Amino acid sequence: MSFKYERKINYYETDRMGVVHHSNYIRFLEEARCRWLEELNISMEKLEELGKNRPEAKKLANSYDFFVAQTDLMPTVGRFLGPVLGPRKKMPKPIPASANPETILGRLRSTIKIRVKDQPIIQSIVGSEDMTEAQVAENIDAIMDVLDRNLEKGSKQIKAMYLKTTMGPVTRVI
């Protein structure tokens, strides 16, 4: 899902050179967030209701890979959606006032989540049901490239690799 927010910049929001002053970014983010919530039909009251309606909150949490929130809204989001987002490791990333949200969103969109627990096993989601085999293979190559760069001995350190669908059998790749 994508949302585009366009706004005309007023003269009083610029500095002497006609550039938007950075102190206005948070206000612009808040306006965009409110418009986005209006488009989704989610008001602050509905956000509170969503926090009380766990099945609906779980549905929302499962439909997105990550969440972002303004720094000043983190306590509110944490109070209402924290119990649902926290266990899924999807707590919103706070966007500070001075940060450019596009760079943060770009970095989050290109992030690969790799989980290592007590054992030297790496588990990662590489695709979904609606993806083609080429897209899944491209995602696997991206993970292998990251591992190759970050492991001491590179890909020689990987003893085995398996691919498994949600309810399907395990297939050994390496």
The Cβ of residue 53 has, within 10 Å, a number of other Cβ atoms equal to 14
User: 131-159, pLDDT tens digit by residue?
Assistant: 888 998 888 888 888 888 877 777 777 78
Amino acid at 137: A
The answer for residues whose C-beta is within 8 angstroms of residue 16's C-beta and 6 or more apart is none
User: 114-133, pLDDT tens digit by residue?
Assistant: 555 566 777 778 888 888 88
How far apart CA 114 and CA 102 sit, in angstroms, is 23
User: 53-63, pLDDT tens digit by residue?
Assistant: 888 888 888 88
Exposure string of 135-155, with b = 16+ CB inside 10 Å and e = fewer, is eeeebbeebbeebeeeeeeee
How far apart CA 64 and CA 2 sit, in angstroms, is 12
pLDDT at 134: 92
Contact 114, 143 (CB under 8 A): yes
User: 62-114, pLDDT tens digit by residue?
Assistant: 887 778 777 777 887 888 888 888 888 888 888 776 777 778 777 877 776 65
pLDDT at 40: 64
- Dihedral pair phi/psi, residue 70, rounded to 5°: -65, 150
pLDDT at 112: 64
Identify the residue with better confidence: 24 or 44.
Answer: 24
